[in-house]
Each structure stands twice: as C-alpha cells, then as structure tokens.
Amino acid sequence: MAKDPAFLFYPGDWLGGTIGMSFEQKGCYMELLILQFNAGTFTESQVKEVLSIRFDYAWPTLKRKFKTDGTYYWNERLQQEKDKRLNFIESRRLSGSSPKKTKAYAKHTHKRTENENRNEINIGFEDFWDLYAKKVDRQKCEGKWIGLTDEERKNCIEKLPAYIQSTPDKKFRRDPETYLNNKSWENEIISPFPSKIPEQPLTYEEMCNRTTNDPEIWKRYKAVKREGERKAVFYPIKTI
C-alpha cells in the first residue's frame, strides 16, 4: 500500500491546544508533527536538528505535547488520526470498486468520528495533572478524572488553585487520587495564609499585557478551556 499523503486536521482543536504559544512555538510544533507523520516517531536529537537554534526556546513547551518511551517521542492524537485514516483506506480497498459500498463506509466512518468527538471530555487530564503538581499514581488518577462528569471537572479546575495555595508544602497536600475520590473541591478551604487573596485566572489578553514586564509568565500558567467558553483562561500551575 502506498504511503498516505495526508492526515485530518481540526482547526478548532489546534487553536485550543496551542493557545498561549507564540507563533514561533506553533511553527515548531507543526514541524515536529510533520516529522512524526513522515517518520512515525522521533528522538530528541532529531528534534534538535529540526528546531535548530529554536530548540531551547520551543522544546520545553512542546515536549509535554508528546508521549515518550524514554527514547522516542510521538503525539498520541496524530497517531490516532493516522490510524483512522489508514483503516478507512484499507476498508475502501477491500470493498472493491462498488461505489455503493464505498459511499456507505465513508458515511459510517464520518458518523463514528462524530461520535468519538462527542465523547471527548471537556477538560483533559493533563490540565488537572499539571495544576495539581503532586504526581502520584497517574494511571489511577486518570481513570478517576475520566469518570467525572463535565460539571465536576469544571468545578474541580476552578477550585483547584485555591486549594494548591492553601497547601504550598506538597507533603500536606492530599494525594491526587484521594482528592478526586472525595471530590475535595467541594470542601471548604482553610488557608494558612488568610490575608493573601488567591490568585485568579487570567485571560489571554491579560497574559499578553503582562508579558512585557514578565516574559516568563507563560511558564507559570496553564491554559484551560472551559466548557461553553470560546477562549481559554490561564491558571497558575502552582501558587507560592
């Protein structure tokens, strides 16, 4: 079978997934996706070759977009889209030259893709994992997170910065699995620093305005796209 020359691209998902990145970082991200599309996986040394002088600037931000086995990196979403496309092409080949069969399968594939997109959760696990900043029992936590309702995930993310601020020492912070099991975001937060006002999420415009005096602010905040809202807001990854 000849190599498929294309993969599906979703502009809305791209905008949501790259919000907060600079134009240079977005360009570097696309270069790495194309590298994966052509090579399957890639190593960090290959990243250095592709990004060249922009490696130190872009890779720390882009690295979290890729999974790794310790040697090779790949973007899971891109791999899923490639697999879907290959399955469709193979099924179309097996269906022969019958236009009716090909049309029916294309309709089925489109409907299946719509259903898969509809089942996607409103806030990804990585958003919670990075904000919580106590990385214990990831696999169990991810299952708990997926099992929450959209409303529960939304409430959790909104209340989480205040809880993190109240427990700056991680040894006194609940393990993330316990936090999710008990739905602890519903509890009253008793802060050891009552005089300090919890830091509120920032809009994209506010982040841009602060960049002039604080160019490192993008490293301390995490973009979270909440259900029903067109633009993401930015929460502090951890509050000191």
For residue 227 the two structure tokens come to 């259900």
Neighbours of 25 (CB within 10 A): 20
Q: Does 186 map to a domain?
A: yes
Residue 104 domain-assigned (yes or no): no
The verdict on residue 120 lying in a domain is no
Are residues 31 and 129 both part of a single domain? no
Per-residue tokens: 138: 């990831």
Its domain, for residue 220, covers 125-236
Residue 196 lies in a domain: yes
44 in a structural domain = yes
Query: Residue 2 domain-assigned?
Result: no
pTM, rounded to two decimals: 0.43
Tens place of pLDDT per residue across the chain (240 aa):
556 677 778 777 787 788 788 999 999 999 999 999 999 999 999 999 999 999 999 999 999 999 999 999 999 988 888 888 788 777 777 766 555 555 555 555 555 544 444 446 678 888 899 889 899 889 889 888 888 888 898 899 988 888 888 888 888 899 999 999 999 999 987 755 544 444 678 888 888 888 878 888 888 888 887 777 778 888 887 643
* Pair (139, 73) in one structural domain: no
In a domain, 131, yes or no: yes
Are both 32 and 134 inside the same structural domain?
A: no
Q: How far apart are CA 117 and CA 111, in angstroms?
A: 10
Do 134 and 65 reside in the same domain of the chain?
Answer: no
Query: Same domain for 232 and 140?
Result: yes
From residue 126, give the alpha-carbon distance in Å to each of 54, 72, 201. Answer: 25, 20, 17
User: What crossing angle do the helices spanning 23-39 and 55-62 adopt, rounded to 10°?
Assistant: 70
* Residue at a domain's end among 44, 60, 77: 77
**Number of structural domains the chain divides into:** 2
